[in-house]
Amino acid sequence: MRKTMYLLLLIPVGLFVIVVCVMQLTTNSIMREVRSAFYCPDFYVADYQYDPGGSPELYADPEVNYVVYEYDPDKPNIYARYNVTNHSVETKYFDDVDINLKLYRIFTWHNFLKGTLWFRYSVVVTDKDGVRIFGGWDVPVKLTIEKANGKWEITKLYESP
């Protein structure tokens, strides 16, 4: 009798574990996109800041691929947010840096249409001589996600300072 009760209790626990695992796996595309953002050599410029006819030294470097994106405060662009060339490295020296990224998914919870994904990252950018240019350690991030046209989209991003 007790064995049967324990087995009956294990069924919902097992189903819960399976659902949580499926939730984690279905958001792998977001984690790949976040990882790509750190290593992207392009320089992202918000459309409201872009002025190609302005100062001649702006956007004039032929070695740099400038990407103008539509700024939307309600939908963060993770490439503009996490691309180290936008924040810490002169773009022309991007090939001469070493990016050491550790990206950990903490937890995902969603209903297969909307949800939340938490991850943590540590990143250290060094120049070719090993001198640290930029670093961030164990930074927690919360993403609000939504499925649109069969693809997960990030709708909100909160990063702990």
Q: What is the pLDDT of residue 16?
A: 82
pLDDT band at 3 (very low <50, low <70, confident <90, very high): confident
Phi-psi label, residue 4: left if phi above 0, alpha if psi -120 to 50, beta otherwise: alpha
pTM above 0.85, yes or no: no
Q: What are phi and psi of 24, to 5 degrees?
A: -65, -50
Only one residue has tokens 């996600």, namely 145
Domains of the chain listed by start with CATH number: 2-159 (3.10.450)
Q: What is the pLDDT of residues 103-125, one digit of tens each?
A: 999 999 999 999 999 999 999 99
147 or 88, higher pLDDT: 147
Q: What is the pLDDT of residue 11?
A: 81
Residue 91 predicted with pLDDT over 70: no
Q: Yes or no: say if 126 and 133 are a contact pair by the CB < 8 Å rule.
A: yes
CA 36, 156, 73 angle in degrees (round to 5)? Answer: 95
Q: What is the pLDDT of residue 101?
A: 95
Q: What is the pLDDT of residue 133?
A: 85
Residue 2 predicted with pLDDT over 80: no
Q: What is the pLDDT of residues 28-74, one digit of tens each?
A: 999 999 999 999 888 888 888 887 776 666 677 777 888 889 998 88
